[in-house]
Amino acid sequence: MDEQKISSLLEPYLGGDSLSARQMEKVSAYLALLVKWNAKMNLTAVRQPEEMVSRHFGESFFAARRLLNERSAKSAIDLGSGAGFPGMPLAIYGPEVQVTLIESQNKKATFLKEVVRALEMKNVKVFNGRGEDFKQQADLVTLRAVEKFEEAARVAADLVTAGRRLAMLIGEGQVSRAKELLPEFEWKVAAGVPNSAARVLLVGNQQGNQVG
């Protein structure tokens, strides 16, 4: 798929912003790798490149734009990164943010490392392991489309630096449960993802001393 088509598909998610030529090159290369690897292993159930751009890249850039334009972050962790969403687009959108992709499945972690290498993503590291075993914290922790949501939400909360943010790309029906599970966060009104009937971005600030 050419970059003009990708840019057109991403437009609804960027809220009037646009990606630079260098960022578009990275997105195009990333998409090509995703399509290639997905033919051999199950990285995503989405098979059509156009749908990959809208559902995975679009949703991820929607989150990146809102999260990084609203408040700065020096570090981010994407828990259960899978094929790299939203962590890799977050790193493309905000090259100043040091991003760690946590993925326990070896094959998916291998794919992520190849994307980091091919795209020369100097601000991205891949941790091939469980979130419970990662001993660092970050200003921003993201969570999207994980198995065992309740367990993962608790692990994600523990990875947030005191006073910073947890961002979840989830179904609207999961919002109330997230708030019940993590009362130590002050939750903003969930923002609907463009072109989706039920997907939302839910962002919580950890209560306590606010940093930055």
Please state, in angstroms and rounded to a whole number, the distance separating the CA atoms of residues 198 and 171: 6
- The H-or-E segment that residue 157 falls in is helix 149-158
Number of compact structural domains in the chain: 1
What pLDDT is recorded for position 207? 85
pLDDT tens for 123-138 read 999 999 999 999 999 9
Residue 211 forms part of a structural domain: no
pTM of the predicted structure, to 2 decimals? 0.95
What pLDDT is recorded for position 161? 96
Residue 158 forms part of a structural domain: yes
Residue 195 forms part of a structural domain: yes
Phi, psi of 106 (to 5 degrees): -60, -45
Please state, in angstroms and rounded to a whole number, the distance separating the CA atoms of residues 13 and 53: 11
What pLDDT is recorded for position 146? 83
Residue 212 forms part of a structural domain: no
Residue 78 forms part of a structural domain: yes
Tens place of pLDDT per residue across the chain (212 aa): 999 999 999 999 999 899 999 999 999 999 999 999 999 998 999 999 999 999 999 999 999 999 999 898 999 999 999 999 999 999 999 999 999 999 999 999 999 999 999 999 999 999 999 999 999 999 999 999 888 999 999 999 999 999 999 999 999 999 999 999 999 999 999 999 999 999 999 999 998 654 44
**Terminal-to-terminal C-alpha distance of the chain:** 40
Find the domain containing 50 and state its range.
3-206
CATH code of 139's domain: 3.40.50.150
